[in-house]
Amino acid sequence: MQVTLPNRAYLADIERFTRLMVVDGTDDLRFVLPDGLFSVHPLVLCMIGALGDWASDQGAEVSVHWEDLNSSIRYLERMKLFEVMDLPTGIPVREHDPSGRFIPVTRIRDNAELNKFVVDFVPLLHARPEEADSVKYVLFELVRNVLEHASSAHGALAAAQVTKSGRLLVGVADSGIGVRASMGRSHPVTSDQDAIEKAFRPGITGTTRHYGGNETNGGAGLFFMKAMATMSRHHMVMATGDSLMKLLTQPRGHQARIHARLQEDRVKWVNLAVPYPGTAVGIDISIDETIAFSRLLADIREVYHLNVKKSKIEKYRPRFR
């Protein structure tokens, strides 16, 4: 397989990247960097890292190729992509460059590493408290999903970046069994797209056949992620097997709406010519002061109540004091 990095690929145009994943007649993974400068979403880096894990598991050789060293390639080094792929480059970088509001590609294998990751790395974003809450929440929940459901021997790869405009870009990827196999443990699944649709539907979890989940899984984690992207009017992407789901942005001038089913959302489906082994999730959210995390949750609760909740009869309510 050959994976060529495009000059630009973010969630809005993630197809620029997936189109450049091609079968080249060998089992090896050739990672080819473009001429000139490039800029990509952290999800792309995590996907490439996870592809490297998968290729290594197949006994294949993993290699990276470029013509001229430039600042974009140095950026990949600073993001530790080559390190997680076990591809030592010898590229010198300034490890303490203060301008970086990013979390490098990091491998997380268990809950202890996840807790440490959130504590150690989120401060690297130099985020304000209300920003840090969103970062912690999204990173923790996405990685926890991988550790619980992906059966990945290599754990999860996670990375994040904050743009100058205050947008948080998060990517998490693994080389595990994929959503179809995970969801198929408890539910009939007909395709990778069907598996993604079920994974996002509140009340469905791969850990139990029962709607509403069990005592440890509510089947609401990805629904919450989707709600956060929806309310902040940004994109979310999930790729697994031959399907890629892209949640499109909500139109301006209208109240953002959260739905229980992906079929009701503004979604674009992409058929991947080269199936992605494992699962990859990317999400963008606004983290400026206008959308504090607590406000985001209050909005989700309101919209959930209006649009998702099936039983409108209020029964018992929690007591706060």
By beta-carbon proximity to other proteins, the closer residue of 52 and 202 is 202
Q: How far is CA 247 from the centre of its chain?
A: 12
| Residue 109 makes contact with other proteins by CB under 8 A | no
Smallest distance from other proteins to CB 155, Å = 17
In the numeric block, the tokens 């991947």 are attached to 272
Q: Is 94 in the site for other proteins (CB under 8 A)?
A: no
Question: What is the enclosing helix (H) or strand (E) of 246?
Answer: strand 236-247
What count of other Cβ atoms lies within 10 Å of the Cβ of residue 64? 20
Of 32-40, 85-93, 184-192, 300-308, which segment contacts other proteins by CB under 8 A?
A: 300-308
Note whether 20 and 253 are within 8 A (CB).
no
Asked if 96 is part of the footprint of other proteins (rule: CB under 8 A), the reply reads no
102: nearest Cα among 69, 68, 83, 76: 76
Q: State the minimum distance, in angstroms, from the CB of residue 220 to other proteins.
A: 6
Q: How many CB atoms lie within 10 A of CB 34?
A: 16
Nearer CB in complex with other proteins: 90/318: 318
CA distance 138 to 196: 18
The dihedral of CA 43, 6, 275, 270: what is its sign? positive
Q: Does 123 bind other proteins (CB under 8 A)?
A: no
Is residue 301 involved in binding other proteins (CB under 8 A)? yes
Instruction: For residue 256, state whether it binds other proteins (rule: CB under 8 A).
Output: no
In the numeric block, which tokens belong to residue 98? 């203060």
Nearer to other proteins, 252 or 319 (CB): 319
CA 143 – CA 178 distance, rounded (Å): 14
Q: Is 66 in the site for other proteins (CB under 8 A)?
A: no
* Residue 39 touches other proteins, criterion: CB under 8 A: no
Going residue by residue from 134 to 163, which x/- string records binding to other proteins, judged by CB under 8 A?
Answer: --xx--xx--x-------------------
Number of residues that this document lists for the chain: 321
**Least distance between other proteins and beta carbon 104 (Å):** 21
How many chain residues touch other proteins (CB under 8 A)? 41
| Cβ distance to other proteins smaller for residue 14 or 204 | 204
In angstroms, give the least distance from the CB of 175 to other proteins.
23
115 belongs to the binding site for other proteins (CB under 8 A): yes
Q: How far is the CB of 215 from other proteins (least distance, A)?
A: 4
**56 half-sphere exposure, CB direction, 13 A CA radius:** 15
**Cα 294 to Cα 304: distance, rounded to the nearest angstrom:** 15
Nearest Cα to 78, choosing from 117, 120, 124, 36? 124
In the complex, minimum distance from the CB of residue 65 to other proteins, in angstroms, rounded to a whole number = 39
Q: Which residues pair with 241 in a beta bridge?
A: 276
Q: Looking at 27-35, 57-65, 129-137, 187-195, which segment touches other proteins (CB under 8 A)?
A: 129-137
Q: Is 124 in the site for other proteins (CB under 8 A)?
A: no
Question: Is residue 217 a contact residue for other proteins (CB under 8 A)?
Answer: yes
Answer yes or no: are the C-beta atoms of 270 and 18 closer than 8 Å: yes
Which has the closest alpha carbon to 236: 285, 180, 190?
285
Binding site residues, other proteins, CB under 8 A? 111, 115, 118-119, 133, 136-137, 140-141, 144, 202-203, 211-218, 220-221, 224, 293-294, 297-298, 300-301, 304-305, 309-311, 315-321
